[in-house]
Chains A and B, each alone.
Chain A
């Protein structure tokens, strides 16, 4: 039996042996959303966003991993299917501890994408944001770094450029999109989020007047990067938008803790955003050298480095490919400069 004939939304369609329902549907022009599926890798059947209804058993099947059976009646749309997909997204969001947009941007009356602006300041570009002149800077009150040692001096940063030298249009947050929120941090999570940010203390009061470029870069590096590096291309966010998911519906007190393990200089790894699709595991299994492993089980299932290896050693050689493959913001390209200069020393106790 090399060909299977089955019904897709009422139409007779033909599958070749080994093809999944998803592949056939796409060939027939039927769109099914996916997160964990990738054409170059074997199906994981993990996210359950690609659910379709088997009318005969009444069950929802992950179309990416299920081959059709002869005569099966599959539905890819309708209220039940859409509700089931939305529930899958909502469950994933219920264990997704990450902000799409940073707290500072959310409260900005101008809708500025503050972390991005700060990125360019880190890279040495001067910024002068006219709207910030008359603003009470709610961004600084929202800055999460306040929980640690004090907020980033956002307003002075946004005003440190000189007229004429900073003309570029400032990045703005796209309004109306789904926006995941971490909520209250748990014990130890603020320390985890500090990884990669400069440990330097807040500027002394009165020092914020007009920052010189050196001080601006230095202060910019204190940003913890609360927003998601993948916010424009994240497939989980897109799925949440498409299904009008309610992130709080299946939220609960138990969730994957926020950590930022070292994944080498080129990548940022945030396990609390991982949907456990295992694509990175598949990628590294075929690459040279040791591969990643899926460790633990249940909610504690996570990717990790086996035995004597490290994440950094495994991921560094495949950094670009891995960041591109990850469907969410769990593994992304690190776009910050490493805080390694003398300016970024932690506070000297003798200063106090």
Chain B
């Protein structure tokens, strides 16, 4: 280790006493510095703490984010979330490894340039398949596009090295303006080019002296249209989708006129010049108007109702004044000044709020239990460990509405008498973590949360705890173990965290969305919330809509509307003229609701009866081109990989279930295996130690229940959707024009492609990676 790194590590270790609670953050900080955790670094950690060797080794082997092998200079993260999987992420991953020359069993290329990792959901499902290279996110990265994207990335690196990149405009005071451009810069929009657009808009406003300001706002949830810009001018709002920097100028000039004569002249001259030089009309393809209206709410897709995501697309996520001006922190004020703990809990109870993290436990009961614990310190934890592939509600809420979540936590803290708060966030959610840190600091400056409240009220300190991977840590007791610096093995309940939680203290754990709903209920009373939904499921619920859907993204809808309404009215139905077969709700713990049951309402119990669960709200739409058996295999593989291994049911049971599903998908299935699958599923569901294990069989059980005929077809040697690689073959039809593109791109060199002759696929060599089909300009590659 070089002296510079060594000093950096010593600084990290000196910052805070390294004990159990700070072990994971400390190791992450060191890894951030070095790229990995070499033995010398671990020795330093041991020398600075009383942490045992066994504890360190256990952590390193449990949390996937830790790496003890050196990493390449650039980090390539391939999202393996559900939406990405369905759109071919496995092929993208294989092609990336192939292009970079990474050997079997390795994750880094021989020159140490790139480390390629498969990661859990990056939360950009509408851009699937998604790959992140360092800080750049690439969407729609099919296997065929891999070489192009690698070239693009290397070109960016080169530009950066020569210092040619334009620096992003800093935020600065802008002249009073009559128009406001509201631009979402959430992770999805950034991946879709929002940062470049932001810079271009600011540049244009400056050079053309336009009477406008740019404001970065919370996410509208319209990821399919990213980047999204709302132009608010003279009482009207116009929403533009997929706006490119090239379109920015004409869009602006359609609404605004340049502020000075000089600027007007510039516009005129440059317009003429452009015309003269390119021979094309000055106006580039015009920007897409999605919606307009007199109220910003008119811009939303009909059918939506915003509570946890209120003011989406209107407020700057980190503008505390704007949050307060829109009514923020009134609920906390009310809870602090005028209400007793039991009154607040009564409001929550009358609203009928249930936990949005998955199981739908009654929130008021949980708060009551935390309040009823013996006197002494208490803890409030916000569970933002959204590990469910295909879900990004929590990411979006944390990125866009950090103050609302903090206010909800602060209300809980006032209610149960807690002065310690934590937000546990997935490490993959970089932007959420940064914004939360900033939001906490801003609240502390004002004495709203933490800091020094003017009236000397008890301080409620909130800290951000960054996760180190492991889906199971979304289970609240496993999360507590992680926060205490141990392996994320779920504890057996009882005792429940409200009785004995973090460090043995009574602890209230609620999900991000649950906390985000609390301020509205307290400020406006519970009636409005309780008036929405069904008998037992009240209020609204956010869903991450992805898969085969025209307008995916993040939506918030009132409980009680049907899945059909969500998918068809809000989501716009199928984008490729295929038939809907199922809606997967709830991710790996959930299940598939078949097309015949799409009128099932959004309701905890109704979804469960249909074989799915509400979960945290992932919703993947499948059509007849998607294989439900393969999807069950995907989720079972996820559960097998994420099993902590502590109890026999989940450790061995998930492996056996996966083996059976592998057999079925690869053409080795036997009918009696279906019975075995059901037996195993029943055992896991009733006997596993934690929620992960108990819900792990759901994807297999629900598809077995609703799509048995598809299982039987696989066993008979046929995948009805044409997706299972062991059961399909690729061939080239007479439409082949002999262009050799497929042969050049085939990573397995399985295509004999003589120019101007019909090409042929060698079936034995073919790996069914689908690249030839994507590369063919004549649609001559057929799958049967």
Residues on A close to B: CB < 8 A?
43-48, 51, 58-60, 62, 65-67, 69, 84, 87-88, 91-92, 94-95, 250, 252-254, 275-276, 281, 284-285, 290-301, 304, 306-309
Q: State the CA gap A62–B687 with chains docked (Å).
A: 8
Residue among A66, A275, A291, A298 with the highest chain B CB neighbour number at 10 A: A298
Contact with A309, one of B53, B645, B655, B689 (Cβ below 8 angstroms): B53
Q: Which of B477-498 contact A (CB under 8 A)?
A: 487, 492, 494-495
Contact present for A250 and B656 (CB under 8 Å): yes
Q: State the CA gap A154–B667 with chains docked (Å).
A: 45
14 A–B pairs (Cβ distance < 8 Å), ordered by A: A58-B686, A66-B494, A88-B649, A250-B656, A292-B54, A293-B55, A297-B62, A298-B645, A298-B651, A298-B654, A298-B655, A301-B646, A306-B54, A308-B53
Contact with A254, one of B494, B653, B659, B687 (Cβ below 8 angstroms): B659
When distances are taken between beta carbons in the complex, the residues of chain B under 8 Å from A306 are 52-54, 56-58
The distance from the CB of B665 to the nearest CB of chain A, in whole angstroms, is 15
Contact with A307, one of B57, B641, B653, B689 (Cβ below 8 angstroms): B57
Q: State the CA gap A127–B56 with chains docked (Å).
A: 51
When distances are taken between beta carbons in the complex, the residues of chain A under 8 Å from B745 are none
When distances are taken between beta carbons in the complex, the residues of chain B under 8 Å from A60 are 686-687
- Whether A252 touches B659, Cβ cut-off 8 Å, given contacts A301-B644, A306-B53, is yes
When distances are taken between beta carbons in the complex, the residues of chain A under 8 Å from B689 are 45, 48, 62
* Residue B648 lies at the interface, judged by CB distance under 8 Å to chain A: yes
Contact present for B495 and A48 (CB under 8 Å): no
Contact present for B655 and A45 (CB under 8 Å): no
Contact present for B648 and A88 (CB under 8 Å): yes
Q: Which of B376-422 contact A (CB under 8 A)?
A: none
When distances are taken between beta carbons in the complex, the residues of chain B under 8 Å from A294 are 58, 487
- Whether A47 touches B58, Cβ cut-off 8 Å, given contacts A84-B686, A91-B653, A299-B655, is no
Q: State the CA gap A44–B648 with chains docked (Å).
A: 11
- Whether A252 touches B655, Cβ cut-off 8 Å, given contacts A84-B687, A87-B683, A294-B58, is yes
The distance from the CB of B591 to the nearest CB of chain A, in whole angstroms, is 18
- Whether A66 touches B686, Cβ cut-off 8 Å, given contacts A91-B648, A298-B641, is no
Contact present for B652 and A285 (CB under 8 Å): no
Query: Residue of A at shortest CB range from B658?
Result: A254
When distances are taken between beta carbons in the complex, the residues of chain A under 8 Å from B647 are 45-48, 62
The distance from the CB of B64 to the nearest CB of chain A, in whole angstroms, is 9
- 0/1 per residue, B618-657, Cβ < 8 Å to A? 0000000000000000000000111111111101111110
The distance from the CB of A20 to the nearest CB of chain B, in whole angstroms, is 9
Contact present for B652 and A67 (CB under 8 Å): no
Q: State the CA gap A250–B657 with chains docked (Å).
A: 10
The distance from the CB of B30 to the nearest CB of chain A, in whole angstroms, is 15
Contact present for B492 and A66 (CB under 8 Å): yes
* Residue B598 lies at the interface, judged by CB distance under 8 Å to chain A: no
Contact with B54, one of A58, A276, A281 (Cβ below 8 angstroms): A281
Given A276-B646, A307-B53, 13 more A-B residue pairs with CB atoms under 8 Å apart are A45-B689, A48-B649, A48-B687, A87-B683, A95-B651, A276-B651, A291-B54, A298-B644, A298-B645, A299-B640, A301-B645, A301-B651, A306-B58
Q: State the CA gap A91–B654 with chains docked (Å).
A: 10
Contact present for A276 and B52 (CB under 8 Å): no
Contact present for A290 and B680 (CB under 8 Å): no
Q: State the CA gap A281–B54 with chains docked (Å).
A: 9
Contact present for B646 and A45 (CB under 8 Å): yes
* Residue B766 lies at the interface, judged by CB distance under 8 Å to chain A: no
When distances are taken between beta carbons in the complex, the residues of chain B under 8 Å from A293 are 53-55, 57-58, 61
Q: State the CA gap A253–B666 with chains docked (Å).
A: 15
Contact present for B53 and A65 (CB under 8 Å): no
Contact present for B646 and A307 (CB under 8 Å): no
Contact present for A297 and B492 (CB under 8 Å): no
Contact present for B645 and A296 (CB under 8 Å): yes
When distances are taken between beta carbons in the complex, the residues of chain A under 8 Å from B528 are none
Nearest 6 CB-CB pairs, A to B?
A301-B645, A306-B57, A293-B54, A306-B53, A60-B687, A295-B61
Q: State the CA gap A43–B642 with chains docked (Å).
A: 23
Q: State the CA gap A92–B645 with chains docked (Å).
A: 12
Query: Residue of B at shortest CB range from A35?
Result: B648
The distance from the CB of B57 to the nearest CB of chain A, in whole angstroms, is 3
Query: Residue of B at shortest CB range from A251?
Result: B656
* Residue B293 lies at the interface, judged by CB distance under 8 Å to chain A: no
Please count how many residues in chain B sit with their CB below 8 Å of the partner chain's CB atoms: 40
When distances are taken between beta carbons in the complex, the residues of chain B under 8 Å from A66 are 492, 494
Q: State the CA gap A51–B61 with chains docked (Å).
A: 29
Query: Residue of A at shortest CB range from B640?
Result: A298
When distances are taken between beta carbons in the complex, the residues of chain B under 8 Å from A94 are 652, 656
When distances are taken between beta carbons in the complex, the residues of chain B under 8 Å from A67 are 494-495
Q: State the CA gap A148–B644 with chains docked (Å).
A: 37
The distance from the CB of B8 to the nearest CB of chain A, in whole angstroms, is 22
The distance from the CB of A236 to the nearest CB of chain B, in whole angstroms, is 11
* Residue B267 lies at the interface, judged by CB distance under 8 Å to chain A: no
Q: State the CA gap A58–B687 with chains docked (Å).
A: 10
When distances are taken between beta carbons in the complex, the residues of chain A under 8 Å from B683 are 84, 87-88, 91
Residue among B39, B52, B54, B644 with the highest chain A CB neighbour number at 10 A: B54
* Residue B42 lies at the interface, judged by CB distance under 8 Å to chain A: yes
Q: State the CA gap A69–B689 with chains docked (Å).
A: 17
Contact with A250, one of B54, B492, B644, B680 (Cβ below 8 angstroms): B680
The distance from the CB of A322 to the nearest CB of chain B, in whole angstroms, is 15
The distance from the CB of A151 to the nearest CB of chain B, in whole angstroms, is 33
The distance from the CB of B555 to the nearest CB of chain A, in whole angstroms, is 33
When distances are taken between beta carbons in the complex, the residues of chain B under 8 Å from A88 are 648-649, 683, 687
Contact present for B648 and A297 (CB under 8 Å): no
Q: State the CA gap A67–B491 with chains docked (Å).
A: 12
Query: Residue of B at shortest CB range from A67?
Result: B494
Q: State the CA gap A173–B641 with chains docked (Å).
A: 40
Query: Residue of B at shortest CB range from A256?
Result: B652
Query: Residue of A at shortest CB range from B659?
Result: A252
Contact present for A92 and B652 (CB under 8 Å): yes
Residue among B39, B56, B686 with the highest chain A CB neighbour number at 10 A: B686
When distances are taken between beta carbons in the complex, the residues of chain B under 8 Å from A95 are 651-652, 655
Q: State the CA gap A43–B655 with chains docked (Å).
A: 25
Query: Residue of A at shortest CB range from B660?
Result: A252
Q: State the CA gap A252–B651 with chains docked (Å).
A: 13
Q: Which of B180-211 contact A (CB under 8 A)?
A: none
Query: Residue of B at shortest CB range from A290?
Result: B53
Contact with B643, one of A87, A252, A292, A297 (Cβ below 8 angstroms): A297
When distances are taken between beta carbons in the complex, the residues of chain A under 8 Å from B643 are 297-299
Q: State the CA gap A16–B57 with chains docked (Å).
A: 37
Q: State the CA gap A299–B487 with chains docked (Å).
A: 15
Contact present for A252 and B644 (CB under 8 Å): no
Contact present for A44 and B652 (CB under 8 Å): no
Q: Which of B458-474 contact A (CB under 8 A)?
A: 470
Query: Residue of A at shortest CB range from B58?
Result: A293
The distance from the CB of B46 to the nearest CB of chain A, in whole angstroms, is 8
- 0/1 per residue, B663-689, Cβ < 8 Å to A? 000000000000000011001001101
Residue among B53, B679, B680 with the highest chain A CB neighbour number at 10 A: B53
Contact present for A297 and B687 (CB under 8 Å): no
The distance from the CB of A281 to the nearest CB of chain B, in whole angstroms, is 7
When distances are taken between beta carbons in the complex, the residues of chain B under 8 Å from A62 are 492, 647, 689
Q: State the CA gap A301–B650 with chains docked (Å).
A: 12
Contact present for B57 and A304 (CB under 8 Å): yes
Q: State the CA gap A252–B61 with chains docked (Å).
A: 25
When distances are taken between beta carbons in the complex, the residues of chain B under 8 Å from A292 are 54
Q: State the CA gap A294–B654 with chains docked (Å).
A: 20
Query: Residue of A at shortest CB range from B643?
Result: A298
Contact with A290, one of B42, B52, B694 (Cβ below 8 angstroms): B52
The distance from the CB of A266 to the nearest CB of chain B, in whole angstroms, is 21
When distances are taken between beta carbons in the complex, the residues of chain A under 8 Å from B649 are 48, 88, 91
Contact present for A300 and B645 (CB under 8 Å): yes
When distances are taken between beta carbons in the complex, the residues of chain A under 8 Å from B52 are 285, 290-291, 306
When distances are taken between beta carbons in the complex, the residues of chain B under 8 Å from A51 are 687
Contact present for B648 and A47 (CB under 8 Å): yes
Q: State the CA gap A210–B346 with chains docked (Å).
A: 91
Contact present for B57 and A254 (CB under 8 Å): no
